[in-house]
Structure 1
């Protein structure tokens, strides 16, 4: 295999978390590209060490400066809530916590590159995962002139153990150890866990692995009720208290986590073609998605609701695959937003030992009318009308039966070609 020549780079902005991978990338970039390294960190609700320590760590590793942006509210309002309104969930379980944050981080990575006059950006995503695609597609969409450096696709480090050894050699302090390694990604929406014993999908996750949720067995013996208020599809209040988008998620994370809500164990199909085993904790998100669906069931007509459910699969796929800044994603957002006008009201839920139970929903735009549904009201619904409807609805079935055709197309009789005359 012929290695490609390295591009000439004067200044690179590195998406920096202070974790193992990005910590060793700083000295590696300086050694291999001879460029200035600017570290960019984003606060997406991961609860990392304070910025003073992070800045010191970046500078000591060889970076010229550290730039930080607080993206929590932007993540919640402009990325998570649109995804919530779409009802997106990947492969029935994954609530796209990592996926939805990557385009936002990459967007600000590009903005910082413009601010400091960098000609390249770099990230710590591996060559086996999805994040490399999410970061790089965003950069390509927003500024294709920027060079992209992905060290995991270039260097001879092939494992986290190798990275730990490299960090020790360059006096870069890291928290990961060879004995017990979990690869985690945490933000306002969720925390994910990969690696360690999870590399064998037969293994049950260790209880000590979980960070923000208690086990259903250890959850309180008494249920808790929570009310969530929505305006045009967006959550705006919890238990009657108006809160910012990020704060709503934080509050529901605490409530849901305490009651064992939001754990998901998934063998998923990565974009790059392989399967991976991940465990996710998304307590607040699980509550919000459940509540949003309950309200939609009350206010959306059947055709719109059913079509939206199909669209949610595509929305989740686009988000998972890093195609956030694309025309199709914009078009899907336009459709979703057009459906959310009546999604206004309040949902009451009961949380109990890992379960979410609907305990009530109301809306000024409710399509449910007891007087329409009752069997005793004839001025709105005349039951005799149903006869003609059923005749028309089942007409194709009737014609098929009259022709002597089986219900299944697999057992069709062979046609009698003697009945057909040639011209």
Structure 2
């Protein structure tokens, strides 16, 4: 059930969650690498329930120490808010909840490894998923000298019962059971759910799947309106109350989730080549993306808005594929930040039965002019000028048609 003994590693920092997989990884590393194991826990807003007693669990599993690092502020201000400016949405639907958290987790893990003098890092990602690529790409960029250990690619255990038996044989306490239905990943931005009935795409998700949002049909019959104020593409106020990034996201998750906003049931293309189905809940994200798109429609000219859309698609792919620590990411974020400079103003969002809809928008940088757009008589636009514009705009088509007429006449 284990790999051959390897003595090349003296101390390893493990990305630890306290769940079944990482609880088994601690003793496995000690047995198969004869090394000291330091547990590292990233607090990215997964909630107090998941973090409760995690240090004690790590020590009981055999770790020499456990570091819990609060990354919520960094996650919100240095990853989520900048990415929002790009408009990144993977395959037109997924708001990248899992992918967004991986860069700062990996970065903090490397920092702990340097702090404790480790010569290796380890993670509990499986060999089928995207996260192994995201973590190890970050390790390669930040600490190419550290050995990376991925137990799921080395050991022979393949099921929950095998992992539970492995822990029982070593008297390592674990609260997990063999009957777990779903695999979930939660952070400040979202919660994802896989497994159970979702493994058959023909099965409709049951209400057991959803944990942050109410069913839209059971949401309040009265809509709720939120006034969101942005400065340079970043949310500053909700209903005229100042909010820092973490508090804003938590508040919007609660308010929008109560209206059933932010649900997604998606079959996506994983980086490793297979398709997978996941249900995602991102209430705050759904509201913020909708609001920013409304503000963009008011402020950005057509060519800039078209470019921002292309940039968002490319940045979504970059994030999904784990290429945060690359020069390209810096270039793309710089472009998005520049594009977002005029995105200042107020957006009114209506929450109702699973939908977030922009109903009002205003900005000091608005390019909308009623004087030009009105159907009534105006003094600023001479409609006769449109004739020359159209003639030049369609010139290529006119020349092509004239050539065709000449050919037909011969």
TM range (shorter): over 0.9
Distance change in 2, residues 1:48/1:162 (3 Å): farther
1:288 and 2:306 are equivalent in the alignment: no
State the shift of 1:378 in Å.
5.2
State the shift of 1:48 in Å.
4.0
Equivalent residues of 1:371, 1:377 under 8 A apart? no
State the shift of 1:197 in Å.
1.5
TM-score norm. by structure 1 comes to 0.92
Match of 1:303 in 2: 303
State the shift of 1:120 in Å.
0.5
Partners of 1:283 and 1:268 in 2: CA distance: 20
Structure 1, residues 199-252: CA drift from partner, whole Å, max 9, x if none? 111111110221111100111111111111111001111111111101100000
TM-score norm. by structure 2 comes to 0.95
Match of 1:408 in 2: none
Within 5 Å, give how 1:313-332 maps onto structure 2. 313-332=313-332
Match of 2:59 in 1: 59
Equivalent residues of 2:6, 2:34 under 8 A apart? no
State the shift of 1:180 in Å.
3.5
State the shift of 1:178 in Å.
2.7
Match of 1:390 in 2: 390
Within 5 Å, give how 1:8-407 maps onto structure 2. 8-49=8-49, 53-376=53-376, 379-404=379-404
Equivalent residues of 1:194, 1:277 under 8 A apart? yes
Partners of 2:140 and 2:261 in 1: CA distance: 37
Structure 1, residues 112-148: CA drift from partner, whole Å, max 9, x if none? 0000000100000000000000001001101100110
Partners of 1:87 and 1:172 in 2: CA distance: 45
Equivalent residues of 1:259, 1:352 under 8 A apart? yes
Partners of 1:48 and 1:21 in 2: CA distance: 20
Secondary structure of 1:207 counterpart: coil
State the shift of 1:175 in Å.
4.1
Partners of 2:194 and 2:142 in 1: CA distance: 30
Aligned length: 406
State the shift of 1:284 in Å.
0.7
Partners of 1:384 and 1:50 in 2: CA distance: 67
Secondary structure of 1:41 counterpart: strand
Partners of 1:111 and 1:159 in 2: CA distance: 32
RMSD of Structure 2 on Structure 1 (CA): 1.9
Partners of 1:5 and 1:296 in 2: CA distance: 57
Secondary structure of 2:228 counterpart: strand
Distance change in 2, residues 1:92/1:172 (3 Å): farther
Partners of 2:171 and 2:296 in 1: CA distance: 54
